[in-house]
């Protein structure tokens, strides 16, 4: 069984993403601020890369938390993550 973690810590989020060769992105042509995503380099025309500063501005403005998994059930590094509302 795998476990997930939730954080709002910017450094922790950035380290998790960068360790998996990802970078911050948002969905193109969305409302101001946009919908955040983590881009792992697979071709997705709908995403545009943004700076970490912009990413965390949107993240905090929308009161989001980062739900993520460190390892898969087989012990591999996991890239599972999603954004959830803070409680």
- Which residue, 24, 26, 56, 55, is CA-closest to 40? 24
pLDDT (tens, 9 = 90+) of the chain, 87 residues, equals: 578 999 999 999 999 999 999 999 999 876 666 789 999 987 677 889 999 999 999 999 999 999 999 999 999 999 999 999 997
Question: What pLDDT was estimated at residue 29?
Answer: 75
- Which residue, 29, 43, 30, 38, is CA-closest to 56? 38
Contact 68, 3 (CB under 8 A): no
Output the pTM of the full model.
0.88
Which residues contact residue 23 at a Cβ distance below 8 angstroms, ignoring those fewer than 6 apart?
Answer: 17, 38, 39, 49
Question: What pLDDT was estimated at residue 43?
Answer: 66
The range of the structural domain enclosing residue 67 comes to 4-85
Question: What pLDDT was estimated at residue 10?
Answer: 98
**Total domains, the chain:** 1
């Amino acid at each position: 069984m795998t476990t997930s973690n939730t954080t709002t810590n910017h450094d922790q989020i950035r380290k998790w993403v960068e360790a998996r060769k990802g970078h911050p992105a948002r969905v193109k042509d969305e409302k101001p601020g946009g919908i955040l995503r983590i881009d792992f380099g697979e071709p997705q025309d709908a995403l545009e890369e943004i700076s970490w500063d912009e990413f965390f501005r949107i993240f905090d403005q929308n009161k989001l938390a980062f739900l993520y998994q460190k390892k898969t059930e087989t012990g591999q590094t996991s890239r599972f993550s999603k954004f959830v509302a803070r409680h």
